[in-house]
Amino acid sequence: MKRLIQDPLPYSYDALEPVISKSIMQLHHDKHEAAYVNKANEAIEKLEKSRAGELEIDVKAIMRDFSFNYNGAVLHKLFWANMRTAKDNNQPDEQLRALIEENFLSVKAFENEFSAAAVGVEGSGWAVLWKDMDNNLSIGQLEKHNLLALNGNIPILVLDVWEHAYYLDYLNDRASYVTKWWQVVNWEDVNKRVWK
Protein backbone atom coordinates (compact mmCIF):
# COMPACT_ATOMS: atom_id res chain seq x y z
CA MET A 1 0.00 0.00 0.00
CA LYS A 2 1.19 3.51 -0.79
CA ARG A 3 1.97 5.93 2.02
CA LEU A 4 -0.80 8.40 2.90
CA ILE A 5 -0.14 12.03 2.04
CA GLN A 6 -1.71 14.83 4.05
CA ASP A 7 -3.19 17.57 1.86
CA PRO A 8 -3.27 21.21 2.91
CA LEU A 9 -6.67 22.49 4.04
CA PRO A 10 -8.85 23.43 1.04
CA TYR A 11 -9.29 26.95 2.59
CA SER A 12 -7.48 29.24 4.99
CA TYR A 13 -7.25 28.37 8.69
CA ASP A 14 -9.66 31.19 9.57
CA ALA A 15 -12.22 30.40 6.82
CA LEU A 16 -14.68 28.76 9.22
CA GLU A 17 -14.70 31.53 11.83
CA PRO A 18 -16.65 32.33 13.93
CA VAL A 19 -18.05 28.79 13.95
CA ILE A 20 -14.62 27.13 14.24
CA SER A 21 -11.63 29.29 15.17
CA LYS A 22 -8.31 29.59 13.38
CA SER A 23 -6.57 28.17 16.49
CA ILE A 24 -8.64 25.00 16.41
CA MET A 25 -8.11 24.54 12.68
CA GLN A 26 -4.34 24.98 13.00
CA LEU A 27 -4.06 22.43 15.78
CA HIS A 28 -6.60 20.10 14.27
CA HIS A 29 -5.02 19.97 10.82
CA ASP A 30 -1.33 20.43 11.62
CA LYS A 31 -1.12 18.30 14.76
CA HIS A 32 -4.06 15.89 15.04
CA GLU A 33 -4.65 14.96 11.41
CA ALA A 34 -0.89 14.91 10.80
CA ALA A 35 -0.45 12.41 13.65
CA TYR A 36 -3.05 10.03 12.18
CA VAL A 37 -1.37 10.19 8.77
CA ASN A 38 2.09 9.60 10.26
CA LYS A 39 0.97 6.74 12.46
CA ALA A 40 -0.94 5.04 9.62
CA ASN A 41 2.25 5.30 7.56
CA GLU A 42 4.31 3.82 10.40
CA ALA A 43 1.98 0.81 10.46
CA ILE A 44 2.29 0.42 6.67
CA GLU A 45 6.08 0.56 6.98
CA LYS A 46 6.12 -2.11 9.69
CA LEU A 47 3.97 -4.40 7.55
CA GLU A 48 6.34 -3.86 4.61
CA LYS A 49 9.36 -4.72 6.75
CA SER A 50 7.61 -7.81 8.03
CA ARG A 51 6.90 -8.97 4.46
CA ALA A 52 10.56 -8.50 3.62
CA GLY A 53 11.56 -10.55 6.67
CA GLU A 54 13.26 -7.56 8.31
CA LEU A 55 10.97 -7.17 11.32
CA GLU A 56 8.94 -9.40 13.59
CA ILE A 57 5.59 -7.81 14.30
CA ASP A 58 2.50 -8.33 16.42
CA VAL A 59 0.09 -8.45 13.47
CA LYS A 60 -3.03 -7.95 15.55
CA ALA A 61 -1.63 -4.87 17.29
CA ILE A 62 -0.39 -3.33 14.04
CA MET A 63 -3.68 -3.91 12.26
CA ARG A 64 -5.53 -2.33 15.18
CA ASP A 65 -3.20 0.70 14.97
CA PHE A 66 -3.64 0.87 11.23
CA SER A 67 -7.45 0.72 11.42
CA PHE A 68 -7.57 3.51 14.00
CA ASN A 69 -5.08 5.84 12.31
CA TYR A 70 -6.05 5.18 8.70
CA ASN A 71 -9.71 5.83 9.48
CA GLY A 72 -8.68 8.95 11.43
CA ALA A 73 -6.78 10.25 8.41
CA VAL A 74 -9.58 9.50 5.92
CA LEU A 75 -12.31 11.00 8.09
CA HIS A 76 -10.40 14.26 8.58
CA LYS A 77 -9.80 14.60 4.84
CA LEU A 78 -13.54 14.20 4.28
CA PHE A 79 -14.42 16.53 7.18
CA TRP A 80 -12.37 19.39 5.67
CA ALA A 81 -14.05 18.89 2.29
CA ASN A 82 -17.50 18.82 3.90
CA MET A 83 -17.07 22.39 5.21
CA ARG A 84 -16.63 25.89 3.83
CA THR A 85 -17.10 29.49 4.92
CA ALA A 86 -20.58 30.05 6.38
CA LYS A 87 -23.11 31.50 3.99
CA ASP A 88 -26.77 32.42 4.01
CA ASN A 89 -29.40 29.99 2.87
CA ASN A 90 -27.03 27.07 3.20
CA GLN A 91 -29.13 24.11 2.06
CA PRO A 92 -28.83 20.86 0.12
CA ASP A 93 -29.87 21.27 -3.52
CA GLU A 94 -33.19 20.01 -4.83
CA GLN A 95 -31.97 16.56 -5.84
CA LEU A 96 -30.29 15.88 -2.51
CA ARG A 97 -33.24 17.36 -0.64
CA ALA A 98 -35.56 14.84 -2.35
CA LEU A 99 -33.26 11.96 -1.40
CA ILE A 100 -33.05 13.17 2.20
CA GLU A 101 -36.84 13.43 2.38
CA GLU A 102 -37.19 9.92 0.99
CA ASN A 103 -34.84 8.55 3.64
CA PHE A 104 -35.52 10.75 6.66
CA LEU A 105 -38.97 12.30 6.08
CA SER A 106 -37.68 15.89 5.99
CA VAL A 107 -34.44 17.87 6.01
CA LYS A 108 -35.34 19.09 9.49
CA ALA A 109 -35.82 15.52 10.76
CA PHE A 110 -32.52 14.55 9.13
CA GLU A 111 -30.67 17.43 10.77
CA ASN A 112 -32.22 16.67 14.15
CA GLU A 113 -31.24 13.00 13.94
CA PHE A 114 -27.71 13.79 12.76
CA SER A 115 -27.26 16.40 15.51
CA ALA A 116 -28.55 13.98 18.15
CA ALA A 117 -26.13 11.33 16.88
CA ALA A 118 -23.26 13.83 17.14
CA VAL A 119 -24.16 15.07 20.61
CA GLY A 120 -24.72 11.52 21.82
CA VAL A 121 -21.44 9.93 20.71
CA GLU A 122 -20.01 8.23 23.77
CA GLY A 123 -16.55 9.70 24.34
CA SER A 124 -14.66 10.61 21.17
CA GLY A 125 -16.05 10.01 17.71
CA TRP A 126 -18.08 11.19 14.77
CA ALA A 127 -21.60 11.55 13.41
CA VAL A 128 -21.78 10.16 9.90
CA LEU A 129 -24.19 10.28 6.99
CA TRP A 130 -23.64 7.04 5.09
CA LYS A 131 -24.75 5.97 1.64
CA ASP A 132 -25.02 2.29 0.85
CA MET A 133 -24.46 0.51 -2.45
CA ASP A 134 -28.04 1.31 -3.56
CA ASN A 135 -27.79 4.99 -2.60
CA ASN A 136 -29.90 4.57 0.52
CA LEU A 137 -28.87 6.98 3.25
CA SER A 138 -28.50 6.36 6.96
CA ILE A 139 -27.07 8.19 9.95
CA GLY A 140 -24.69 6.57 12.37
CA GLN A 141 -22.14 7.22 15.04
CA LEU A 142 -18.50 6.24 14.95
CA GLU A 143 -16.77 5.76 18.27
CA LYS A 144 -13.10 6.76 18.02
CA HIS A 145 -12.60 6.64 14.21
CA ASN A 146 -13.52 3.10 13.40
CA LEU A 147 -15.99 1.45 15.77
CA LEU A 148 -19.66 0.99 14.79
CA ALA A 149 -18.89 1.47 11.07
CA LEU A 150 -21.45 0.16 8.57
CA ASN A 151 -19.69 -2.17 6.17
CA GLY A 152 -20.30 -1.56 2.47
CA ASN A 153 -21.31 2.03 3.15
CA ILE A 154 -19.46 5.19 2.18
CA PRO A 155 -19.41 8.23 4.49
CA ILE A 156 -20.50 11.39 2.65
CA LEU A 157 -20.94 13.89 5.51
CA VAL A 158 -19.06 13.66 8.79
CA LEU A 159 -18.88 15.74 11.94
CA ASP A 160 -15.91 15.38 14.26
CA VAL A 161 -16.99 15.48 17.90
CA TRP A 162 -13.65 14.62 19.48
CA GLU A 163 -12.88 17.27 22.10
CA HIS A 164 -9.93 18.48 19.98
CA ALA A 165 -12.51 19.61 17.39
CA TYR A 166 -14.36 22.08 19.64
CA TYR A 167 -13.03 22.37 23.19
CA LEU A 168 -10.96 25.55 22.63
CA ASP A 169 -14.06 27.35 21.33
CA TYR A 170 -16.97 25.70 23.13
CA LEU A 171 -15.42 24.07 26.22
CA ASN A 172 -17.68 21.16 27.16
CA ASP A 173 -20.72 22.50 25.26
CA ARG A 174 -20.70 20.00 22.40
CA ALA A 175 -24.36 20.73 21.64
CA SER A 176 -23.64 24.41 20.76
CA TYR A 177 -20.78 23.36 18.51
CA VAL A 178 -23.04 20.89 16.71
CA THR A 179 -25.83 23.47 16.29
CA LYS A 180 -23.48 26.12 14.84
CA TRP A 181 -21.63 23.63 12.64
CA TRP A 182 -24.57 23.42 10.21
CA GLN A 183 -23.68 26.97 9.06
CA VAL A 184 -20.39 25.74 7.57
CA VAL A 185 -21.60 22.55 5.89
CA ASN A 186 -20.55 22.48 2.22
CA TRP A 187 -23.71 21.07 0.67
CA GLU A 188 -22.25 21.22 -2.83
CA ASP A 189 -19.58 18.79 -1.71
CA VAL A 190 -22.09 16.46 -0.05
CA ASN A 191 -24.33 16.50 -3.11
CA LYS A 192 -21.44 15.49 -5.36
CA ARG A 193 -20.56 12.58 -3.09
CA VAL A 194 -24.07 11.14 -3.16
CA TRP A 195 -24.07 10.71 -6.92
CA LYS A 196 -20.52 9.62 -7.63
Q: Closer to Fe ion at the Cβ: 100 or 156?
A: 156
- To the question of whether residue 29 is assigned a binding role by annotation, the answer is no
Q: Report the site for Fe ion in 115-174 (rule: CB under 5 A).
A: 160, 162, 165
**Minimal distance, residue 169 CB to Fe ion, in Å:** 14
- To the question of whether residue 28 is assigned a binding role by annotation, the answer is yes
Give how far the C-alpha of residue 183 lies from the chain's centroid of Cα atoms, to the nearest Å: 16
Q: What is the DSSP letter of 44?
A: H
Beta carbons of 191 and 91 less than 8 angstroms apart: no
**Minimal distance, residue 75 CB to Fe ion, in Å:** 8
DSSP secondary structure string for all residues of 123-175: SSEEEEEEE-TTS-EEEEEEETTTBT--TT-EEEEEEE-SGGGTHHHHTT-HH
Q: Closer to Fe ion at the Cβ: 33 or 46?
A: 33
Q: Give the total of residues touching Fe ion (CB under 5 A).
A: 3
**Minimal distance, residue 50 CB to Fe ion, in Å:** 29
Residue 170 phi, psi dihedral angles, 5° rounding: -120, 5
**Minimal distance, residue 99 CB to Fe ion, in Å:** 27
Q: Closer to Fe ion at the Cβ: 114 or 166?
A: 166
Q: Closer to Fe ion at the Cβ: 163 or 189?
A: 163
Three-state SS at 66: helix
| CA Rg value for the chain | 18
**Annotated binding residues for Mn(2+), as ranges?**
28, 76, 160, 164
Residues contributing to the site for Fe ion (CB under 5 A): 160, 162, 165
